[in-house]
Amino acid sequence: MKITNDIVYIGVNDHNIDLFEGQYVVPNGMAYNSYVILDNKIAVMDTVDRNFTHEWLDNLNKALNGKKPDYLVIQHMEPDHSANIVNFIKAYPNTKIVSSDKAFKMMNQFFGDDFKDKQVVIKEGDTLNLGKHILHFVAAPMVHWPEVMVTYDETDKVLFSADGFGKFGALDVNEDWACEARRYYIGIVGKYGLQVQALLKKASTLDIKIICPLHGPILKDNLGYYINLYDTWSAYRPEEEGICICYTSVYGHTKKAVELLAEKLKANGCPKVVVNDLARSDMAECVEDAFRYNKLVLATTTYNSEIFPFMREFINHLVERGYKNRKVAFIENGTWAPMAISTMKNMMSKLVNITYLENNVTILSNLNKESTDKLNKLANELSEEYQLRVDTKEHKTDYSALFKIGYGLYVVTSKDENNKDNGLIVNTVSQVTNTPNRVSVTINKDNYSHHIIKQTGIMNVNFLTTDTPFKVFQNFGFQSGRNVDKFKDYEKPLRSKNNLAILPNYINGFMSLKVTQYVDLGTHGMFICDITEARVISSVPSVTYAYYQDNIKPKTTAKKGWVCKICGYVYEGEVLPPDFICPICKHGASDFEKIK
C-alpha cells in the first residue's frame, strides 16, 4: 500500500491474537505497522511482531523491488515492533540501525547484542538525509516507553508517530476509530498524559499532512479531529457530558439501586447515562467510559470488610492512570457493617482534582424508604445542571437567576435574519431595576451580535461557570459570527421559548431578554431589557473576569517570543517569520505580538 509516492506500507494484520499485552480483548485483531521510505538512501521504519517474520520480510522484499535498505529506524523497542531486528539484519547485513541510546541498551537486553558496528545513535533534533527526504527525530519519552522517538519527514510532511495515535483492530476491519483508539490510549498510554502533552506541543510546530502510527490506520483527513481527541485525553479532560455508573452486585440489590438511579438521571435530562457491571463487562471498556464522561458513580457491596474484588481492580486502574477532573459519587451496600464508601474513598485519596458529591447512599441489604430518598437526592445532585433539558413551566420564571449576575463573563446568544445562531462573550450585564425586573447588556458596535440584536430585539444571556474551558472563550470571543458558524459543534442546541440557543453545558443559569430601550454610547450600545424567561441550572459558581485571567486563560511562559492574540499560541524565538501561520488558529504573523 502506497502512502505517498515514496512511502510504502509493509505492515501485517494479526487475527490470531486474543489478548493484546496479555490483558486487552481485541475482537478485531491488531495491526503491526511498518513502512519503507524509498529514496537515494532507503529507510525501513520499525519491524513487526515475531509471529509475522516471513510475511513482513516478504512485504519488504516486494516494496524494495530488488534494492537493498540502507537504514532500519527503530522508534520503539516494545517486542510487537522490534522483535524482527535480528531477522532483518540476517537478511540485510549491510544495513545501519538508527535508534536512541536507550533503545540500543534495550536491544542488548532482548537479543544479547546492541549491534555496535551498525549503530547510528540519534537524539532530539537530529536529522537523517535520505536524498529527497529529510527525517527529523523528536524525543517522546514515556509515550509510552522511555526510549521512544518519533520521526517527521519534512518532504512528504509525514509524522511517524510510534504508538501515538494508535488503536486496537486490524486494518482489514472497518470500525469506529475513536472507540478503539480511546480504549487503547487510556489503557496503554493513559498514565503519561503530561508526556503526551509535551509531544503534542512539539508536533504543533510541524506541518503535518499524514500520521503513520505503529498500530491502526494511516490518518490523512481531518487530522484536527484526532489531535484534538489526543489533547483532550492527555489533559485528562472529560470528552463528553455524561454519567458513568460502575457497579458490582452479589444478589441483585445493588444492581436494583443502580438501575433505579439510571432511570431517575435520564428523567432529569442527563444527556448520557452509561451503566457497567464490572463483573461482566470488559474492564478496559469500563475504564474508558470513566475517562470519557465527566461524572462517575461507584456502587458496590462491602466484601470481606472491604469492597468486591472487581470494584477494587477497577479503582486500581483509575488510580494508576491518574484519573482526575471529574465528579464522583458513591453507593454502598452492607447487611451488618457497610464499609465500601470509606474503602473506596481511601483508595482514591491519591487522586487530584476530584469533586466528591455530598449525597452518597448507604443501603442496608435492600432499598427502603430512607435509602430511596437518598438515591433521589443523589440523582438530583448529579443532574442539577441538566434540568434545563426538562422543559417544565416551573423552571421558566426562576428570578433567583438574577443572583448569578456579577462582574463576570457571559455568552450572549442571538439569531440573524438567515436563522443562523450566533453568540459572543460579554462582561457587561447588570440588573438595573427590580420592579419590573430589567437588565442592561452593553455590546461593542463592531460586533455582529450588536447588529443582530438591534434588528431582532431579543437575546439570551448564558451565565458561564468556573469549569468553562478556554475553548468556549475561543469559540465565542475570538471570531466573528458573520464569518463562522459558532454553533457548528452543537448538533442540536437547546432552546428557550424565544427559540434562541442556550449553551448545553458550562452555565449555571440563563435569561431570555426582550429589548425595551436602546442607549447609544458611542463605540458601544446599551440594551435595556425585560426578562421573558429565567432559569437556574446549577450551583457551580459563576466565572468572574479575574478568575478567567488567573485560572482559564493560558499563561504565557516563554522568555522570548511572540504570542498569538487570537488563541494564545506562543512562538519561541526572537524573530517571527513574516509568513508564519499559527498552527492552532491559522492566523498570520500580523496577529502576533511580542512577549515583553
Task: Tell me the whole-structure pTM to 2 decimals.
Answer: 0.71
Question: pLDDT over 70 for what percent of the chain?
Answer: 95
Average pLDDT in the 372-391 region? 85
Tens of pLDDT, residues 207-223: 999 999 999 999 998 89
Residue 424 DSSP SS3:
strand
Tens of pLDDT, residues 464-506: 999 999 999 999 988 889 989 999 988 788 899 999 999 988 9
Q: Render 469-537 in DSSP notation, one character per residue.
A: -HHHHHHHHSS-TTTS-TTTT-SS-EE-TTS-EE-SSSEEEEEEEEEEEEEE-SSEEEEEEEEEEEEE-
Calpha distance 166→184 (Å, rounded): 7
Average pLDDT in the 217-236 region? 93
Upstream peptide bond of 436 is cis (omega within 30 degrees of 0): yes
Calpha distance 235→73 (Å, rounded): 30
The closest of 118, 121, 67 to 94, measured between CA atoms, is 118
pLDDT at residue 406, as a whole number: 63
| Residue 3 CA, distance from chain mean position | 27
Q: Render 205-246 in DSSP notation, one character per residue.
A: TS--SEEE-SSSPPB-S-HHHHHHHHHHHHTT--SEEEEEEE
pLDDT at residue 523, as a whole number: 87
Using 50, 70 and 90 to split pLDDT, how confident is the model at 396?
Answer: low
The yes-or-no verdict on residue 24 having pLDDT over 90 is yes
Calpha distance 318→190 (Å, rounded): 10
pLDDT at residue 392, as a whole number: 56
pLDDT at residue 294, as a whole number: 95
Q: What is the amino acid identity at position 158?
A: V
pLDDT at residue 580, as a whole number: 83
Calpha distance 8→39 (Å, rounded): 11
C-alpha cell at 431: 440588573
The yes-or-no verdict on residue 267 having pLDDT over 80 is yes
Tens of pLDDT, residues 421-460: 999 999 889 999 988 889 999 999 989 999 999 999 999 9
Averaged confidence pLDDT in the chain:
91
